[in-house]
Structure 1
Amino acid sequence: MNRSMSTLARSSLIVEVSARDGLQNLKPPAVPTAVKKELVERLLDTGLKVIEVGSFVRPDRVPQMADTPTLLPGLPSLRSEDPEVHYPVLVPNMRGLQSLLELEAASKASDPNVGPLTNEIAVFVSATEPFSKANNNASVDKVLSGLPAVIDKALERGYRVRGYVSCVMTDPLLDMGCYEVSLGDTTGEGNPEAWKTLWEALLKEDIPTSRLAAHCHDTFSMALPSILALLPLGLRIVDSSLAGLGGCPYSPGATGNVATEDVVYALHKLGYNTGVDLEKLVKSGNWLTKTIGISNESKVGRAIGARLALKEKAK
């Protein structure tokens, strides 16, 4: 995030989470690795720069992420000529980080000229005990106490570290070395006024908005209104998921993340630059949902997709 403030003022960064947060809660069968690979390639082609690609977690707990060690080496290599491209992977603990480091070592051993498989990890902590125990199988204090060692080791190995967190834990994660913290509304119960109250409280703590992201689930259709309400307050980093994929197994009724297509459309209409090709994004969302047999939750995706289909039919 080394962009000047003048550029940042009318630009927004989209962190695309469909390949990880979007797919991880899907019921069997597992999404084929080849489909995930094509998804990441399509997302890159739209102009998206930061794409979550997987998790180093227990495969028995998150089966859809079991192929992350296979997927990562097969992705387009990180290109030095485009340093803004990042493939964050969720690493919940030291065991997960060690799995990533072993994969990197094996990749390097097979081809000494190969570059790093990823340059970014993400860590997660919940602000509530019930969710922490359900999601991490540990108390909030236990999760927090284990993170400094994970973050320090990752930083030593050259990874940048992103944090996912419920709001009250923002300060500790930034202090531990996370370059950015994503504020997650996992249940989707947030609304514009609640988000503004939170954001203003963070501003009073002198936390730079350039280090904060909003991660909104759209359970009650409040995700996009909340994001738009934060733009005048300095929000410039938004987590979103292609076609609105996602959910949470520990929050009954919680639906997916805010759809990337909807966010990009709204930002473009308001004059913000995202660097994303909306038409390619829509085509990718329709391709993915048809390929894996689920509904497309993006209103923009469905609307523009229908118009594109009519144009194609008229040819």
Structure 2
Amino acid sequence: MRLGVILGDVRKSLPPAEHLDALLRQVEAAQRNGFSHITMGQHFLYGDLRWLQPIPTLARLAAELDEHVTLATTIVQAPLYHPVMLAEDLATLDILTRGRLVVGIGAGYRRDEFDALGVDYTQRFRMLEESITIMKQVWTQDEVSYAGRYWTVRDGHTHIRPFQSPHPPLWLGAMGEQGVRRSARLGDGWPVTPEIRGPELVRLMSLYEDERIRLGRPLVRNPLRREIIPAASTEAAYERFEAMAKERLLAYANRQLATRDAGELDREFREVARKETFIGTPDECVRQIAEFAQVFPVDPILVRAQWPTMSGDDVVAYLDDLGRDIVPAVAGLTPVDRVVRV
């Protein structure tokens, strides 16, 4: 089993030069510690935080890429782009990475972003499907002609093919039944969020697999977005996670940037952490990951190393802890091929 890191936001007050330097340090530390994926999400008009845009940032990071590392967008919001523009940007990025790109793509969930950009929030799922259809044509055909509900392309002569054939793998985001079916039908993996857990995760992953089988598509292991928090003791691990993440997770929930309830987070942070993270001593974390992998077909696990409260040294120290205690211990784990249903 592999580990990847998702690059997050910082306080807007951090000078841009320091932000870039910290980002490069984080990427160097992740690669040095054996991480397999460097990934990055996306938001617009982010207020008191700075979230660099993923496509140009990952293009810069491609120059730092070791051969064992893949870059991924997790996720880019397709309805906010013209599909031809997005397809060409991503094909270019695939070339710059020499074919080490995964395209994580989704519909988005913040209404204010759509309102600011003049896009109808209520149509985002239909727009996502239409966008993927057009993008796949741009990536695989010499000429594109498409008349859809949202976009029309007439006699478009394509000029940028991805490095990978027919195109980079697609991780298609989803939170509910309809989205999971869409991901099974149109994507190559379903990025599982921390909030989906327990019996609900069994149910949705079973639905995903059933849909893949119905369509004659191969079963896959899905990327899992989940924190891993090791420390010398279980109590120290909870204290570490609170210091790293509690303030920002509460802010996300209050600003509707996450699906968790802010009240639940504030009242029962440790209980939420217990359910949504792998947390404890290194041995406890590895045991929790191994038990999870015996039930769910997941790979890689994507963790967040940097939170706005953390210094660059804190981030590197955290990645070094994972590289020493977690990455080699889970490398020999082989997750199940199909979800274990109860």
- TM-score, normalising length from structure 2? 0.50
Distance of 1:66 and 1:285 partners within structure 2: 14
> Contact 2:86 / 2:135 at 8 angstroms: preserved in 1?
no
Contact 1:120 1:160 in 2 (8 A): yes
> How many residues in Structure 1 have an aligned counterpart in Structure 2?
240
CA distance in 2, matches of 1:199, 1:270: 17
| Aligned pair partner of 2:51 in 53, 65, 72 | 65
2:200 matched residue in structure 1? 194
Aligned to 2:77: 92
Q: Distance in 1 between matches of 2:35 and 2:48?
A: 25
* Residue in 2 that maps onto 1:180: 189
**Residue in 1 that maps onto 2:331:** none
Q: Deviations over 1:95-134 (max 9, x none)?
A: 28636845976x99xxxx96559623221237xxxx5636
Give distance in 2, aligned partners of 1:61 and 1:117.
Answer: 34
Is 1:123 the counterpart of 2:105 in the alignment?
A: yes
Question: Counterpart amino acid of 2:169?
Answer: R
More strand by share: 2
Partner of 1:33: 20
Residues 204, 63 of structure 1: alpha-carbon distance in 2 compared, 3 angstrom cutoff: same
Deviations 1:159-198 (A, max 9, x none): 332111103111113323x11112324xx4x552333344
| Structure 2 residue matching 1:199: 3-state secondary structure | helix
Displacement of 1:144 after TM fit?
1.5
Cα pair distance change 1:103/1:193, threshold 3 Å: closer
Q: Which runs of 5+ in 2 are unaligned?
A: 140-160, 163-167, 229-243, 326-342
Cα deviation, residue 293, structure 1: 7.3
Deviations 1:280-312 (A, max 9, x none): x9xx779x9332879x999x87xx7xxxxxxxx
- Judge which range, 46-55 or 26-35, deviates more: 26-35
The SS at the match of 2:70 is: coil
Distance 1:114 1:102, change over 3 A: closer
* Counterpart in the other structure of 2:172: 163
Is 1:133 matched with 2:111?
yes
Aligned AA (1:77): A
Unmatched tracts of structure 1, length 5 or more: 1-11, 219-242, 305-315
* Aligned mates of 2:49, 2:34 — CA distance in 1: 29
Say if 2:129 is the partner of 1:148. yes
C-alpha separation in 2, matches of 1:260 and 1:290:
21
Tell me the distance in 1 between the aligned counterparts of 2:111 and 2:188.
Answer: 26
Letter of the structure 2 residue corresponding to residue 266 of structure 1: R
Displacement of 1:14: 3.2
| Alignment TM-score, normalising by the size of structure 1 | 0.54
Calculate percent identity across the aligned residue pairs.
Answer: 8
> What pairs with 1:1-315 in structure 2 (closer than 5 Å)?
12-17=1-6, 19=7, 23-24=8-9, 26-30=10-14, 32-55=19-42, 57-60=43-46, 63-66=49-52, 68=54, 71-77=57-63, 82=68, 85-88=70-73, 90-93=75-78, 95=81, 98=85, 101=88, 119-125=101-107, 131=109, 133=111, 142-155=123-136, 156=139, 157-158=161-162, 159-168=168-177, 169-176=179-186, 178-185=187-194, 188=195, 190-205=196-211, 210-216=220-226, 247=249, 248=252, 249-250=255-256, 251=258, 252-253=261-262, 258=277, 265-266=286-287, 289-291=310-312
Cα pair 1:50 1:88 within 8 Å, conserved? no
Aligned partner of residue 86 in structure 1, secondary structure: strand
The equivalent residue for 1:234 is none
Shift of 1:38: 1.7
Provide closer, same or farther for how the CA distance between residues 66 and 203 of structure 1 changes in structure 2, counting only shifts above 3 A. Answer: closer
**Secondary structure of the structure 2 residue equivalent to 1:87:** strand
